[in-house]
Chain A
Amino acid sequence: MAKQVLSFTVNDEPAEVLVQPWDTLLEALRERMGLTGPKEGCGTGDCGACTVHFDGKPIASCLLLAMQARGHTVRTIEGLGKPGALHPLQDAFIRHGVPQCGFCIPGVLMAAAALLTENPRPSEEEIRYGIAGNLCRCTGYTKMLAAITEAAGATAGRRS
């Protein structure tokens, strides 16, 4: 049961990291790579705090073994945008005063970003279902909806 080499792409850069066979992708990112943006809120895929993009799609990174990511592409909140070059969603979340305790926010942003990639002009209902896998206990989701709606206009506008 020796450590194995995980080769994959993380936030646009190739990465090689030693992981244990039983490490989840979330643990590998957080404990072995220092990418602590994705959070563990439940460990069983029921809260969305660990959401990352896996080949562009949102997944619960607590439910994937790290080695299952071999050869795949992963994006975490650290790769969504940076200060000075924020993703429109991040910018909208700040301006709408969305984050309170902040623990759910990286997961919500990754779910919302994936939604807007698939569906640049989502309806309110599509947004509500798009982030329904992300539990938030502070905000009541209201400001989140407003921020995502606004950012959807911005990203859709940017594309066209």
Chain B
Amino acid sequence: MASVMKTTRDVKGIGLSILRPDGPDKVTGQVQYVADLNPRGLLHAKLLRSPYAHAKIVRIDVSRARALPGVRAVLTAADIPVLKKKAPTRAHAVLAIDRVVFAGQPVAAVAADELAIAEEALDLIDVQYDVLPVAADPLESMKPGAPPVAELGTEADTSEALAHGSVAGVTTEAKSSKAVNISQQARLQRGDVAKGFAESDVVIENTYRVPMVHQGYLEPHAVLAQWDTAGNLTLWASTQGSFNTRSEVADVLELPENRIKVIPMECGGGFGGKIRALCEPITAVLARATGRPVRYVMTRREELEAGMPAPQVIIKMKTGVKRDGTLMALEAEAILESGAFSGAVLAVAGVFLASLYRWPSFDVQGFEVLTHKPSIAAYRAPVAPQTIFAIDSQMEQIAKAIGVDPVEFRLRHLQREGDKMANNQPWLSNGAVEVLTRLAEHPLWKKRAEWKASSKDGKLRGTGLSLGGWLGGLQPTGATVRLNPDGTLQVLTGQVDIAGTNIALAQIAATAYGVDIDKVKITTGDTDVAPMTGLSAGSKTTYTVGVAVMQAAENARNQTLEIAAKELEASVHDLEIDNDKVVVRGVPDKGITLASIGKKGNLYMSKVEPVLGTSHPAFSVQAPAFCGQLARVEVDPDTGEVTLHNFVVAQDVGKAINPLQIEGQMQGGAVQSLGMALTEALIYDDQARLTNPSLLDYRKLTSADLPSIETIIVEKPAPHGPFGARGVGEPPIVPAPAAIANAIEDATGVRLTHLPLSPERIALAIAAAS
């Protein structure tokens, strides 16, 4: 949908590093998040959460809590008739009915005048639990006879995979009859794997483990709910998709969607963790029960104990190659631990494992396994970092084992456009080769031998790189572009801006219409007024909503030119937009201002139609986007501490609509990737209770742990993207774990396959090796 502009001059639009309009509000503390709202009569909500990962609820007595002065409502599942025992999703499990299936699961809810009173009310709720055996480890949980997690007959939830729109052609099967906690399984096969291994010279086997990690958004989940007397519900939400929140709340509470208005507030980070409804339904119920506005803000401890983290992923991988480097066979088993409810993007894992490189034969199996832990959700390129960690670590080891250059080895076998992915879909145009080539040309890579040789003071130096990507999401959307009476443009979408996308969309509107960006204002509307749209997820906002905005702006432009043609008695084809007016090409003094066209569309008794450009496209073609990362490290072999000296991110963005915002995405994504590589893990005990429920012990990287992140923007246009743009958000979280593992091996000779690559793992591995 690359568009040919009729404009003869360059407008200030796409391709420029234009600042976000919300900068001043954000640096002065004026931006409003949900927790900043404090309406008259506000009540505060708290949830009583189960201390046990698996228990039968024998009895709940709330009478003492209800009697506490200042308490306005105390609810249990018995008070909410729409709740069903077989909760198909986490959102439906508003309050536990008669069994809790993870520690931290809500059991009762309180609304009170003050937060302190609500907390005291929780202390006064008496719950009698019968503690049941716990499935805490996915490898144990997938065996027959493990303590069951889901209610019998609950269906697998594959909506997350659909939301990310990432892979077609993989059917996931229902669970097998014996292993009660396997909720999805999938298999991808091609060729004769046994023969491939038999003919291989070098066979390498490893088990890669990536623990559950948290998305780590700084703003905890928060929602404010209020009902009007006519029975309409308004939710002020921190969400990545207001229409999705509306649908889920409507479904859970059995309400018509048009009775719910979701107002998306500034979202203080989502990264996949604010796609699905979590605390919205219970807050709405509390507001209805009290007739007052109710605000619920999760504590950080609740976020960590009972949020929706990324799955633990365990990948057993075996590869076989010829001594000359010919790929022969790949065998892999991926186990995705999804916690107490189904919802992992299993198919994505399978496709990534076998699709990046040209394996003539492969057999990849995937299992989604339930355990008694909080259920998982998406986290920025869900399961891509985990699977790329495995496959890229493996490629590096193969290259080392047969003594070839690791970049050349990857480039030789990388699948190209048109090659068949593991699901037999063709690879679409992408910049994987270009990205890897740019990294290999980087001086830090070329000088890796010198860096290694410069090791001193007992420290060890090394360099590593890795390549990964994301297939790109799709979802129908819509946008309108209005011409105002003063000649300015108003863009309206329902898309939540979680990544600086609104300024990019405004730039697209400016270029497509033919005016400068300062004439364009963009608004994210609530679900009552905005065109329906999808999630801000899957790296698809610029790619899909960008197309809608571009088409709506073109539509508005055409309407504008048609009106101008009538007014000027000229042919539309002779007209162009020049700054703030429409002129006849070659006759510069013959023109009409955009303001006067806008005014005519809003004058009493006017016969000129107001300019309202619309577009509501659906999509079928994805745009894969690749990212390569390069790390230069120094390792203290005694303590295992890794000092990151340099980190480079190269990424194919198709067309950089706003380079400044893209750099921010690349840098932030890279640091999340580095956190997964180096320090982050949700650590559970054998009773599936979280042992590190604070940001002191759940270690996101700080500024002191990092160098400045260097960015290299690669532009290989996406054939169907707006002006060639691809998705940007997800690819940079993918490569760092493998890049760091490769760098650590270069420095120390030790290969680590379990994340995080913690000082303990590194130091003890070095000690064991020496």
Contact A138:B668 (CB < 8 A) given known A78-B28, A101-B268: yes
Residues of B within 8 A of A99 (CB): 20, 22-23, 26-27
- The reply to whether A140 and B29 contact each other, CB–CB distance below 8 Å, is no
Residues of B within 8 A of A160 (CB): none
Residue of A39, A77, A109 ringed by the most chain B CB atoms within 10 A: A39
Residues of B within 8 A of A56 (CB): none
Instruction: Supply 27 A–B pairs (Cβ within 8 Å), ascending by A.
Output: A36-B32, A39-B33, A41-B218, A41-B695, A47-B300, A78-B28, A78-B29, A80-B28, A81-B28, A94-B24, A95-B19, A99-B23, A100-B499, A102-B266, A105-B26, A129-B704, A132-B703, A134-B703, A135-B218, A135-B702, A137-B215, A137-B668, A139-B671, A140-B669, A141-B706, A142-B708, A143-B663
Nearest Cβ on chain B to A95's Cβ, whole angstroms: 7
Q: In the bound complex, how far is the Cα of B700 from the Cα of A146, in angstroms?
A: 21
- The reply to whether B38 and A34 contact each other, CB–CB distance below 8 Å, is yes
- The reply to whether B268 and A145 contact each other, CB–CB distance below 8 Å, is no
Contact indicator per residue, chain A 49-67, by CB within 8 Å of chain B (1) or not (0): 1000000000000000000
- The reply to whether A140 and B498 contact each other, CB–CB distance below 8 Å, is no
Is residue B104 within 8 Å, beta carbon to beta carbon, of the partner chain?
A: no
Is residue A119 within 8 Å, beta carbon to beta carbon, of the partner chain?
A: no
Contact A46:B694 (CB < 8 A) given known A94-B19, A97-B664, A102-B266: yes
Q: In the bound complex, how far is the Cα of B74 from the Cα of A73, in angstroms?
A: 40
Residues of B within 8 A of A44 (CB): 300, 694-696
Residues of B within 8 A of A94 (CB): 19, 23-24, 27
- The reply to whether A140 and B670 contact each other, CB–CB distance below 8 Å, is yes
Residues of A within 8 A of B524 (CB): none
Contact indicator per residue, chain A 97-128, by CB within 8 Å of chain B (1) or not (0): 11111111110010000000000000000011
Is residue B17 within 8 Å, beta carbon to beta carbon, of the partner chain?
A: yes
Sample of 9 more A-B contacts, CB < 8 Å, known A106-B27, A134-B702, A140-B669: A20-B116, A40-B297, A44-B695, A80-B28, A83-B28, A97-B660, A102-B25, A135-B700, A139-B671
- The reply to whether B700 and A137 contact each other, CB–CB distance below 8 Å, is yes
- The reply to whether A135 and B19 contact each other, CB–CB distance below 8 Å, is no
Contact indicator per residue, chain B 565-597, by CB within 8 Å of chain A (1) or not (0): 000000000000000000000000000000000
Q: In the bound complex, how far is the Cα of B660 from the Cα of A132, in angstroms?
A: 24
Q: In the bound complex, how far is the Cα of B360 from the Cα of A95, in angstroms?
A: 51
Nearest Cβ on chain A to B4's Cβ, whole angstroms: 30
Interface residues of B in 694-719 (CB under 8 A from A): 694-696, 700, 702-706, 708-709
Residues of A within 8 A of B217 (CB): 101, 103, 137
Task: State the B residues within 8 Å of A (CB).
Answer: 17, 19-20, 22-33, 35-36, 38, 114, 116, 215-220, 266-269, 271, 297, 299-300, 498-500, 660-661, 663-664, 667-672, 694-696, 700, 702-706, 708-709
Residues of A within 8 A of B663 (CB): 142-143
Q: In the bound complex, how far is the Cα of B297 from the Cα of A42, in angstroms?
A: 11
- The reply to whether A93 and B23 contact each other, CB–CB distance below 8 Å, is yes
Q: Find A128's partner among B116, B703, B709 (CB 8 Å cutoff).
A: B703
Q: Find B695's partner among A47, A82, A106 (CB 8 Å cutoff).
A: A47
Q: Find B27's partner among A46, A90, A132, A134 (CB 8 Å cutoff).
A: A90
Q: Find A136's partner among B33, B215, B218, B267 (CB 8 Å cutoff).
A: B218
Residues of A within 8 A of B705 (CB): 132
Q: Find B29's partner among A41, A76, A98, A144 (CB 8 Å cutoff).
A: A76
Residues of A within 8 A of B500 (CB): 100
Q: In the bound complex, how far is the Cα of B724 from the Cα of A49, in angstroms?
A: 38
Residues of B within 8 A of A102 (CB): 22, 25-26, 31, 266, 268
Nearest Cβ on chain A to B651's Cβ, whole angstroms: 13
Q: In the bound complex, how far is the Cα of B704 from the Cα of A97, in angstroms?
A: 21
Q: Find B24's partner among A30, A83, A142 (CB 8 Å cutoff).
A: A83
- The reply to whether A141 and B269 contact each other, CB–CB distance below 8 Å, is no
Residue of B20, B218, B672, B700 ringed by the most chain A CB atoms within 10 A: B218
Q: In the bound complex, how far is the Cα of B695 from the Cα of A97, in angstroms?
A: 26
Is residue A156 within 8 Å, beta carbon to beta carbon, of the partner chain?
A: no
Across the interface, name the chain A residue whose C-beta is closest to B215. Answer: A137
Nearest Cβ on chain B to A144's Cβ, whole angstroms: 7
Nearest Cβ on chain B to A93's Cβ, whole angstroms: 5
Q: In the bound complex, how far is the Cα of B703 from the Cα of A81, in angstroms?
A: 24
- The reply to whether A31 and B703 contact each other, CB–CB distance below 8 Å, is no
Contact A103:B218 (CB < 8 A) given known A135-B700, A142-B667: yes
Nearest Cβ on chain B to A6's Cβ, whole angstroms: 17
- The reply to whether B28 and A41 contact each other, CB–CB distance below 8 Å, is no
Contact A137:B218 (CB < 8 A) given known A145-B703, A145-B708: yes
- The reply to whether A93 and B27 contact each other, CB–CB distance below 8 Å, is yes
- The reply to whether B268 and A97 contact each other, CB–CB distance below 8 Å, is no
Residues of A within 8 A of B297 (CB): 40
Across the interface, name the chain A residue whose C-beta is closest to B710. Answer: A142
Q: In the bound complex, how far is the Cα of B696 from the Cα of A98, in angstroms?
A: 25
Q: Find B269's partner among A34, A137, A144 (CB 8 Å cutoff).
A: A137
- The reply to whether A97 and B23 contact each other, CB–CB distance below 8 Å, is yes
Closest 4 CB pairs of A and B: A37-B29, A103-B268, A140-B667, A140-B671
- The reply to whether B29 and A38 contact each other, CB–CB distance below 8 Å, is yes
Across the interface, name the chain B residue whose C-beta is closest to A104. Answer: B218
Residues of B within 8 A of A82 (CB): 28
Is residue A15 within 8 Å, beta carbon to beta carbon, of the partner chain?
A: no
Residues of B within 8 A of A20 (CB): 114, 116
Residues of B within 8 A of A137 (CB): 215-218, 269, 271, 668, 672, 700
Across the interface, name the chain A residue whose C-beta is closest to B220. Answer: A41
Nearest Cβ on chain B to A141's Cβ, whole angstroms: 4
Nearest Cβ on chain A to B680's Cβ, whole angstroms: 11
Q: In the bound complex, how far is the Cα of B19 from the Cα of A78, in angstroms?
A: 22
Q: In the bound complex, how far is the Cα of B217 from the Cα of A139, in angstroms?
A: 12
Q: In the bound complex, how far is the Cα of B299 from the Cα of A90, in angstroms?
A: 29
Residues of A within 8 A of B116 (CB): 20, 22
Q: In the bound complex, how far is the Cα of B39 from the Cα of A108, in angstroms?
A: 28
- The reply to whether A103 and B664 contact each other, CB–CB distance below 8 Å, is no
Residues of B within 8 A of A145 (CB): 703, 708
Across the interface, name the chain B residue whose C-beta is closest to A38. Answer: B29
Nearest Cβ on chain B to A58's Cβ, whole angstroms: 14
Q: Find A46's partner among B219, B269, B696 (CB 8 Å cutoff).
A: B696
Q: Find A36's partner among B26, B36, B300 (CB 8 Å cutoff).
A: B36
Contact A42:B694 (CB < 8 A) given known A34-B38, A143-B664, A145-B708: yes
Residues of A within 8 A of B661 (CB): 97
- The reply to whether B695 and A46 contact each other, CB–CB distance below 8 Å, is yes
Residues of B within 8 A of A135 (CB): 216, 218, 695, 700, 702
Residues of B within 8 A of A134 (CB): 702-703
Residues of B within 8 A of A77 (CB): 27-29
- The reply to whether B708 and A106 contact each other, CB–CB distance below 8 Å, is no
Residues of A within 8 A of B703 (CB): 127-129, 131-132, 134, 136, 141, 144-145
